[in-house]
Amino acid sequence: MSKFIIEVWGDFACFTRPETKVERFSYPVMTPSAARGVLDAIYVKPKEFCWRIDRIDILNPIKFIPLKRNEVKQKISRITDRLIAEGGEFNLIVADETSDAKGRTQRQTIALKDVRYRIHAHIKPRNGYENKLKAFEEQATRRIAGGKCYYQPYLGCREFAAYFEFADMSKNDIQSNLNMDIGYMIYDIFDLDKVIVDEAPACISVFYAKVRNGSMEVPDWNSNLVKKPM
């Protein structure tokens, strides 16, 4: 099993604490769920493997910034309309209820700015796909090295784009003086032992997050340190 060490960065990030409900207030550090989301954007085969996060290093000082963001209150409706154009079928996105002022709202966000992290992760094959691990790792390596992704990775919110590359381990740029107890943090919002697709039910798990010498160790998904629903 190979370890992947990927550096990700962006101008802004927001890893929302669930207890803040309506207004968004970011954790001071990237969550394992957000890190997995970045890697899924680069390379994912949900039925065959899942990314597992081992550690997150903080490379830039933690800086918060207040923002006001326009958000919509409802999900847009998706309808399928058949158009006669070269015999094709097209999916149209219609913003019906959200097209007027009643469907929009302005919310306060306490986000992070100028963030940079180093994600340590590995690929966990699903049952029956263990013999394809090497192929998964080789394909992931090619995509990361080539800067390829299925869609633009983001840092908590889709408008906060993330950029990535393989980490340069010759640089000693971790915030080594940073030590803090964050408290209980979201580990993931899905059951990682199950195939994660768009229709997968939510399964919130948490763990007690601590930053020591600029790094946050992420316990194994099956560890007793990860609290899952009964």
Q: State the first-to-last Cα distance of the chain, in angstroms, to the nearest integer.
A: 31
Kindly report the number of other CB atoms within 10 A of residue 39's CB atom. 24
Which pair of structure tokens corresponds to residue 163?
């950029």
Contact in structure between 24 and 16 (CB atoms under 8 Å): yes
- Name the pTM for this structure: 0.84
What pLDDT sits at residue 77?
A: 52
Whose structure tokens read 């029956």?
Answer: 128
* Kind and range of the H or E run holding 124: strand 104-125
What pLDDT does 106 receive? 77
What pLDDT is recorded for position 227? 95
For residue 83, which amino acid is it? L
Q: Which residues of the chain have pLDDT under 70?
A: 21, 72-103, 198-199
Q: Which residues pair with 121 in a beta bridge?
A: 4, 53
Are 59 and 119 spatial neighbours (Cβ–Cβ below 8 Å)? no
C-alpha 116/C-alpha 8 separation (Å) is 6
How confident is the model over 62-110, as pLDDT tens digits? 999 999 877 766 655 544 444 444 444 444 444 444 445 566 777 789 9
CA 117 to chain centre: 12
- Please calculate the CA angle 17-59-134 and round it to the nearest 5 degrees: 90
Domain definitions of the chain by residue range: 4-68+108-175, 71-104
At residue 16, φ and ψ (nearest 5 deg) are: -65, 130
Q: Which fold has domain 4-68+108-175?
A: Alpha-Beta Plaits (3.30.70)
Q: Is 81 exposed, middle or buried (0-12, 13-18, 19+ CB in 10 A)?
A: exposed
Average pLDDT, the chain: 86
List CB contacts of 178: < 8 A, sequence separation 6 or more.
58, 62, 211, 213, 214
Farthest CA pair distance, the chain = 63
